[in-house]
Amino acid sequence: MTQKLILRALSGETLPTPPVWMMRQAGRYLPEYRATRAQAGDFLSLCYNPELAAEVTLQPIRRYGFDAAILFADILLLPQALGRKLWFETGEGPRMETTTTAAELAALRPAEAVHDTLNPVYETLRILSRELPRETTLIGFAGAPWTVATYMIAGRGTKDQGPAHALKAADRATFAALIDKITEATILYLSAQIQAGAEVVKLFDSWAGSLKGQDFTDFAVKPTARIIAALKRRHPGIPVIAFPREAGQGYVGFARATGADCVALDNSVSADWAAEHVQKDGCVQGNLAPHHMVTGGQALVDETRAIVKAFSHGPHIFNLGHGITPEADPENVKRMIDTVRGG
């Protein structure tokens, strides 16, 4: 049996102390990250510099001793590799050349061509697999097809994913073909990450909550299931974490429907509810509200303990309900970890 705690939890083992890591644990809340990003010049240059991307991935491991390191990259590197122009506006986030017509979809590169652009990401993983402590699990990731599609269609992040919903309603065939294209490319991307050293992969469906009814089944559940099945055929035993953020009742049965080894939970659902309705199907991950990393205090300790207790009767990986924010206090992260591990 493997001794890595996260792999044990993902295999269904209930541990006396849950392993812990944190979404966006390499990021702007850390002064050492800000220094490395300044050295890189800009965000995309950092993503595509294997030595510096590995360095920022390692920084929170050195500082806190998390049980996992997650590859430093961005979900929009994949559509960039498919041929869409990508840039970041300071203070505003990503901008992307849009894909909204059958002609624009046809102009995308073949899925197999993504490796030409993404080889630096694989090199980052190879560096990390050599340099991480032996007890630390290496997690690779990609955006889930629906979430990636929302950016490709709108050219930016949107509050309600309106442009993607509009295309889905007006030209469902083109929309579905785009989802298929992203799905195919994601399988190849994550497979290459596993070959480069990732021991677990995670699918981030950040905007899954805006899909309702049959659309949730068609564009959140089915693409995730297709990706997981393909990865497990290629890499038997590889664990997959799925994060259909703000899925609400959609979390129930998500692991069974997709084959995911773990369902990551946002903080809009309570740990007690999720323990009853979601954890019965296997490992869950989550779900402390990220604002506790800013505000700290006894509320952080109390809520952390409550989550650990709620999930203590089944496999659990402690994490936030979403990524840590830039204004978080690094000392609050330490307090959270100490609370998880020390009671």
Confidence band for 74, pLDDT divided at 50, 70 and 90 = very high
pLDDT for 343: 65
CB 147 within 8 A of CB 209: no
Mean pLDDT of 271-288: 98
What are the residue ranges spanned by the domains of the chain? Answer: 5-342
Per the annotation, the verdict on 74 as an active-site residue is: yes
- What's residue 198's pLDDT? 98
Token pair 């590799």: residue:
81
143 DSSP β-pair partners: 204
**Residue 189 appears among annotated catalytic residues:** no
Catalytic residue among 29, 33, 151, 251: 151
Residue from 28, 63, 95, 156 carrying the catalytic annotation: 28
Question: Which of these is catalytic: 8, 24, 84, 226?
Answer: 24
Told to judge if 24 belongs to the known catalytic residues of this protein, a careful annotator would answer yes
Segment 111-123 shows an average pLDDT of 97
The answer on pLDDT for 89 being more than 90 is no
Closest CA to 98 of 150, 143, 165: 150
Would you say residue 338 has pLDDT above 90?
yes
The residue from 34, 63, 74, 218 that is catalytic is 74
Catalytic residue among 34, 37, 63, 109: 37
Alpha-carbon distance of 309 to 16, in angstroms, equals 10
In the residue annotation, 62 being an active-site residue is answered as: no
Q: Tell me what pLDDT residue 90 has.
A: 79
Q: Pick 5-342's CATH classification: 3.20.20.210, 3.30.450.40, 3.40.50.12160, 2.20.28.90.
A: 3.20.20.210
Query: What Rg, from alpha-carbon coordinates, does the chain have?
Result: 19
Q: What is the mean pLDDT of residues 268-282?
A: 98
**Residue 1 predicted with pLDDT over 60:** no
Q: Give the three-class secondary structure for 263.
A: strand
The neighbouring-strand residues paired with 192 are: none
* Torsional sign, CA 304, 306, 308, 314: negative
Helices 172-196 and 162-170 sit at what angle, rounded to 10 degrees? 120
Give me the mean pLDDT over the 12-19 stretch. Answer: 98
Residues 201-258 pLDDT 10s: 999 999 999 999 999 999 999 999 999 999 999 999 999 999 999 999 999 999 999 9
pLDDT surpassing 90 at residue 190: yes
Query: What pLDDT does 2 receive?
Result: 58
Cβ atoms of 149 and 210 closer than 8 Å? no
pLDDT-based confidence at residue 91 (cuts at 50, 70, 90): confident
The stretch 160-171 carries a mean pLDDT of 98
Tens digits of residue pLDDT in 246-258: 999 999 999 999 9
